[in-house]
C-alpha cells in the first residue's frame, strides 16, 4: 500500500524517504561512501545497480545500435544520450556563458571553467584539476619520473 508517508529523514539535508534503504543509499551522497567495487578494475560505486551496469563494460559487447549511424553502445542510456546529438538536443545551458550541453554532468564540468574549482587533487604533489581525466594524465608524469 502506497500511503505517501516518508518517515525516514536525512540528518544532513532533511530530505525524506519512504524506505530506510533509500535513505541509506541517499546518505552516501553526503559521505562519499562507495561500498560496491568492480572485481575487474576496482572502480567503486555507491549503488549495486550501478556496479552491475558498469561490469557490462568489461564484456566488450555493444548490443545497442544507433539507427542513424554505425555507432554501437554498451548501454541503452549511452545510446539514448548519443541520439540526442543527432536530434541536436542540448537541454542543459550554462547560466554564465550560455553554452549548451546534452548531459547535465558535462555542464557541471564546464562550469568549473568559470568557478575555477579543481576538485581532483594529486596525492603526490597536491596539484588540483577540474576533471578526473586530467588528474589521471598528470599522475602518469609522476610514474615516469620514478
Neighbours of 30 (CB within 10 A): 11
Cα dihedral sign for 25, 26, 28, 29? positive
Number of domains in the chain: 2
16, pLDDT greater than 90? yes
pLDDT tens profile 32-81:
899 999 999 999 999 999 999 888 888 888 999 999 999 999 888 889 98
**Is 120 a domain residue?**
no
**Is 117 a domain residue?**
no
Type and span of the H or E element at 26: helix 20-31
| CATH, residue 30 | 3.30.160
Q: What is the longest distance spanned by two Cα atoms in the chain?
A: 62
Range of the domain at 24: 7-37
**Is 107 a domain residue?**
no
- Banded model confidence at residue 1, pLDDT cuts 50, 70, 90: low
**Is 12 a domain residue?**
yes
Type and span of the H or E element at 101: strand 100-101
pLDDT tens profile 93-111:
999 999 999 888 899 999 9
Where helices occur in 39-131 by DSSP H, the ranges are 48-55, 76-87, 104-115
Res 96: pLDDT: 93
- Banded model confidence at residue 83, pLDDT cuts 50, 70, 90: very high
**Is 47 a domain residue?**
no
pLDDT tens profile 113-141:
999 999 889 999 999 998 888 999 999 99
Amino acid at each position: 500500500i502506497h500511503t505517501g508517508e516518508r518517515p525516514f529523514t536525512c540528518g544532513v539535508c532533511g530530505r525524506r524517504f519512504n524506505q530506510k534503504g533509500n535513505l541509506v543509499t541517499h546518505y552516501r551522497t553526503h559521505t562519499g561512501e562507495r561500498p560496491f567495487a568492480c572485481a575487474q578494475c576496482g572502480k567503486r560505486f555507491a549503488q549495486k545497480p550501478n556496479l552491475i551496469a558498469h561490469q557490462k563494460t568489461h564484456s566488450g559487447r555493444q548490443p545497442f545500435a544507433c539507427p542513424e549511424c554505425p555507432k554501437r553502445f554498451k548501454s541503452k542510456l549511452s545510446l539514448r544520450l548519443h541520439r540526442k546529438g543527432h536530434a541536436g538536443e542540448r537541454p542543459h545551458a550554462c547560466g554564465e556563458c550560455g553554452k549548451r550541453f546534452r548531459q547535465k554532468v558535462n555542464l557541471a564540468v564546464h562550469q568549473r571553467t568559470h568557478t575555477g574549482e579543481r576538485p581532483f587533487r594529486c596525492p603526490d604533489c597536491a596539484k588540483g584539476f577540474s576533471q578526473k581525466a586530467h588528474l589521471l594524465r598528470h599522475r602518469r608524469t609522476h610514474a615516469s619520473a620514478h
